[in-house]
Structure 1
Amino acid sequence: MSDLTFDPKAFLATASNKPGVYRMFDAQGELLYVGKAKSLKKRLASYFRKTGLSPKTEALVARIAQIDTTITANETEALLLEQSLIKNNRPPYNILLRDDKSYPYVFLSSNDDFPRLGLHRGAKRAKGRYFGPYPSAGAIRESLSLLQKTFMVRQCEDSYYRNRTRPCLQYQIKRCKAPCVGLVDEAEYAEDVRHSVMFLEGRSNALATELNEAMEQASSELNFERAAELRDQIALLRRVQDQQSMDTEQGDVDIVAAVVTPGGACVHVVMVRQGRVLGTKNHFPRVPIEQDAGEVLAAFLPQYYLGTAEREVPAEIIVNAEHEDFAVIAQALSQTRGGNLQISHRVRGNRKRWLELAQSNAEQSLASLLANRQHIQARFESLQEALSLDEVPTRLECYDISHSSGEATVASCVVFGPEGPLKSDYRRFNIEGVTAGDDYAAMRQALLRRFGRIQEGEGKMPDILLVDGGKGQMKMAMEVMQELAIHDLTLLGVAKGVTRKAGMETLFLNDPHNELVLPGHSPALHLIQHIRDEAHRFAITGHRARRGKARTTSSLEGIAGVGPKRRRELLKHFGGLQELKRASAAEVAKVPGVSKKLAEQIYAALHSD
């Protein structure tokens, strides 16, 4: 029987550096612990260090059999989701507070001629508007302090306000306009309240622009202390503006995202009730590789909702792909729930953010599954059977070529073993002295350099050499092996089929005329596609790095589409590089002139480590 113990090394190899929530389970599937992290990979790695763990943490780690992660847009969302999961599941290793305090809100009264702003926690009985929730009372106090300095809306209690006969200290230090004694008219005060509401709703670009201009003015006058104060105020503005997409107080929705890659499929379900994310779950259906996400969803939804009588069917299901059967599925589910049900694909606002997070988590969960050592071992054994080898191969190498019209040609070499990708053994070769666009000559140079070094005792000889390309690349590989007198190496050519669709590849085993066809559900084919796609990715990233200029002066330099002017706008908007790094991609997209696609590229570049 195979070893079922949890493998932290394989798990951490595919863990994300993004913020999110992690859940630890024991061998019986019982939830042990829920935690949040600014970087999931760094936080989870800290549990598996050899020394420095507390006895409680050691006991927790000893029971771990599985870890699930949920990626969020920022730390605020991670905190809210963590608290929701702790309240609903009460894991034994989490600290559970007896008072179970609710999330704090900013409250704006509506029954007063001169409304007040204040912190509120608990039942929402008073008439007015509630903004939030916020991750902590400290965050709200910082926000209220900033609003008080900027718009000077009163924050005193009504009993104190109604008994004033002269202005208090807040008026003297310019944090209030003293409406208690009539020193400001209702129209001016109402405008200050409107500006405060705009800020609390996240529409504070005008205020940020004003503060940025003041910061630049102070800097030009060499008043660096004032410039630093303004920079900190801008940072507070942006920090408080985090959109609470994990808690919107409206909507009963399930978000279902399917991802299909060579090697498997994952369907990630996010359950939202009254606007709050209650939990997430991964499903790994066994599907043929040629199926797309829409086909997987069309098969999954009826089984998931109609296969269990206790399953709650929400009013809306949001999916990440379309299929012609969704109309019929929606009718069937409507009858089950006794009311209308809608299956949505094109969504906006918070629903769009939920869908993006669901898809991101499906991709991450599938990557973790494919990195599982047992899963990889099964695929290696399947490859041995498919190629009729005497032993299970232990080292595969795959080569690919990448260039732009012959410019900056790069060859990649990726290596897979029974533990998955061996990234320390990956190699790139900058191809020189060949005709631009001649992929055969580029492949020849890469193979000669790589296997020439192996012949000299540098590196390990692979069991199987995979070459991405058709019969021509296969012939080139054979010629190089003959030239180097290497005769005991299995050669495998991988060419896209006529349809160029995943699952329809043509394989050549040791000879361009010896075609090998594997079924689309074959684990061996999944392994071949996985290593081929990894070689392609590694070649492209190397080519792009070589084509671009090496820049070391700023983290923003080297990002396509971010020139000097846009760098200045980004730094002005957030008040510095540190706050820009804290921002999510959605927040970066709010900067004037920055599209959503560019914002995602900037976010990825700043978090690439």
Structure 2
Amino acid sequence: MFDIQEELKKLPGKPGVYIMHDEKDNIIYVGKAISLKNRVRQYFQSSRNKGAKIEQMVTHIRRFEYIVTDSELEALVLECNLIKEYRPKYNTMLMDDKAYPFIKVTVEEPFPRVMLARKMVKDKSKYFGPYTSAGAVKDTIELIRKLYQIRGCNRKLPRDIGKERPCLNYHIHQCKAPCQGYISQEEYRESVNEVIHFLNGNYDIILKELEERMEEASEALEFEKAIEYRELLTSVQKIAQKQKITDTAGEDRDILAVAVEEEEAVVQVFFIRGGRLIGRDHFYLKIAKGETQSEILSSFIKQFYAGTPYIPPRLMLPEEIEDLAVIEEWLTKRRGHRVRLIVPKKGTKEKLVELAKKNAQLVLSTDKERLKREEGRTIGAVKELEKLLGLTGIVRMEAYDISNTNG
């Protein structure tokens, strides 16, 4: 049985999302927290004035689960995804995706632009985000234009080169005026590549550069300029908390990670559908002493995806596994389309794998006893029946209630 008071003691003081279940195991509420420990406990404290709706909801809670994130911003986007997926009874529907803007780089154009976009569409552009702060996005785009002088106008280039005078952005050094032919397409593309490098999360160089400019302006007694750099520095720091929870590629994929402790292991799977993390599950495994993570993952994939009704086109793993090519071929045949097993080395995908690993480690350390009990009721029960019946290798059992056939 799920002991709520005991489980409350195990909650980590980290940001994340908590999920409340009722007696039928339906999801009835999803919420986010800066500290899971503090927030979830509040629901079960009788002294707090929670309001009629929450008071009623608490009476139906039979168990809860949680997903740890790296920041409250990530928790917010994940909360939105889960509410849209499960539509819990006691949740108020959050705002539409238009509240979460993207940064769009029109890489398909000869002279790409950087702009804010409210929706992500399949137009060959690169999208970064979504972000929860539109103001920070606008400040970052302004910063990009100041540092890299990338255009934001709607002129069709190179068709319109030389047709009109350069705009104000050229004169205030926020554009290199490709509309006048003042910069070659190759040089301009180099600047765009630096912008993409920055938007991919490589902030250290720019943060250092802004700090140096701020200090130089301050030493030169140019305090207004120093304040401007300080504000831009703050905006970049906000953007540095960019969401990892939503994948802008819009693809289906599973993120797998494993945590190991002696002869026990937990595999955590994040399910991403349509680019959104819509749920997760963890699986307790009894392993041989000394078994490697690669071997554990290989065994898990073969067992889990042999029975799951849907196989996504991508599985993201923390490391290479044995028989990778053979397993890929097997999964491809089961799916009917190409399936790839990928070990991401950098960027958002790698951070998602790291996040899955953190959750696996947390499950292994806090839920070990509960997982053992669950295993005892399932695998342990099968083994006990095998012993009683004198059988081995049972893979399927059927039970029939015959009380109505003879009295």
1:80-229 to 2 correspondences below 5 Å: 80-97=77-94, 101=98, 103-109=100-106, 116-122=113-119, 124=121, 128-151=125-148, 153=150, 155=152, 174=172, 176=174, 185-187=182-184, 190=188, 196-218=195-217, 220=219, 227=226, 229=228
Tell me what 2:277 maps to. Answer: 277
After superposing the two structures, state which structure 1 stretch, 219-228 or 103-112, moved more: 219-228
- 3-state SS in 1 of match to 2:209: helix
Q: Residues 295 and 126 from structure 1, CA distance in 2 versus in 1: closer, same or farther, beyond 3 angstroms?
A: closer
Tell me what 1:312 maps to. Answer: 310
1:459-478 to 2 correspondences below 5 Å: none
1:356-387, CA deviations, whole angstroms, 9 ceiling, x for partnerless residues?
Answer: 22221122123332476996xx9xxxxxxxxx
Give aligned-pair identity as a percent. Answer: 33
Q: Which one-letter code corresponds to 1:79 in the other structure?
A: L
Tell me what 2:240 maps to. Answer: 241
Q: Residues 259 and 18 from structure 1, CA distance in 2 versus in 1: closer, same or farther, beyond 3 angstroms?
A: same
Q: Residues 313 and 171 from structure 1, CA distance in 2 versus in 1: closer, same or farther, beyond 3 angstroms?
A: closer
TM-score by length of 1: 0.50
Q: Residues 185 and 358 from structure 1, CA distance in 2 versus in 1: closer, same or farther, beyond 3 angstroms?
A: same
Contact 1:167 1:180 in 2 (8 A): no
**Superposition deviation, residue 16 in structure 1:** 2.1
TM-score by length of 2: 0.70
**Superposition deviation, residue 95 in structure 1:** 1.8
2:32 is aligned, of 11, 36, 49, to 36
Q: Is 1:258 matched with 2:258?
A: yes
Q: Distance in 2 between matches of 1:181 and 1:300?
A: 56
Q: Distance in 2 between matches of 1:323 and 1:114?
A: 42
Q: Is 1:71 matched with 2:60?
A: no
2:14 is aligned, of 4, 11, 18, to 18
**Superposition deviation, residue 115 in structure 1:** 5.6
Tell me what 2:389 maps to. Answer: none
**Superposition deviation, residue 83 in structure 1:** 2.1
1:122-177, CA deviations, whole angstroms, 9 ceiling, x for partnerless residues?
Answer: 35376754333222433322323433555565546669x99998966x788x4755
Q: Distance in 2 between matches of 1:53 and 1:294?
A: 47
Contact 2:99 2:132 in 1 (8 A): no
Tell me what 1:62 maps to. Answer: 59
Q: Residues 129 and 68 from structure 1, CA distance in 2 versus in 1: closer, same or farther, beyond 3 angstroms?
A: same
Contact 1:6 1:64 in 2 (8 A): no
Q: Distance in 2 between matches of 1:276 and 1:175?
A: 39
Tell me what 1:268 maps to. Answer: 268
Q: Which one-letter code corresponds to 1:355 in the other structure?
A: V
**Superposition deviation, residue 339 in structure 1:** 4.3
1:536-574, CA deviations, whole angstroms, 9 ceiling, x for partnerless residues?
Answer: xxxxxxxxxxxxxxxxxxxxxxxxxxxxxxxxxxxxxxx
Q: Distance in 2 between matches of 1:34 and 1:194?
A: 39
Contact 1:153 1:176 in 2 (8 A): yes
- 3-state SS in 2 of match to 1:68: strand
**Superposition deviation, residue 33 in structure 1:** 1.7
Q: Residues 262 and 198 from structure 1, CA distance in 2 versus in 1: closer, same or farther, beyond 3 angstroms?
A: closer
Q: Residues 320 and 209 from structure 1, CA distance in 2 versus in 1: closer, same or farther, beyond 3 angstroms?
A: closer
Q: Residues 139 and 232 from structure 1, CA distance in 2 versus in 1: closer, same or farther, beyond 3 angstroms?
A: closer
**Superposition deviation, residue 240 in structure 1:** 1.3
Q: Distance in 2 between matches of 1:117 and 1:155?
A: 6
- 3-state SS in 1 of match to 2:281: strand
How many residues are treated as equivalent by the alignment?
365
- 3-state SS in 1 of match to 2:232: helix
Contact 2:255 2:356 in 1 (8 A): yes
Q: Which one-letter code corresponds to 1:283 in the other structure?
A: F
Q: Which one-letter code corresponds to 1:22 in the other structure?
A: Y
Q: Which one-letter code corresponds to 2:22 in the other structure?
A: D
Q: Which one-letter code corresponds to 1:96 in the other structure?
A: M
Q: Residues 39 and 297 from structure 1, CA distance in 2 versus in 1: closer, same or farther, beyond 3 angstroms?
A: same
Contact 1:114 1:186 in 2 (8 A): no
**Superposition deviation, residue 56 in structure 1:** 2.0
Contact 1:18 1:71 in 2 (8 A): yes
**Superposition deviation, residue 52 in structure 1:** 2.9
Tell me what 1:357 maps to. Answer: 355
- 3-state SS in 2 of match to 1:48: coil
1:83-141, CA deviations, whole angstroms, 9 ceiling, x for partnerless residues?
Answer: 22222222222222585647421234568887654321235376754333222433322
1:53 is aligned, of 47, 50, 53, to 50
Contact 1:104 1:134 in 2 (8 A): yes
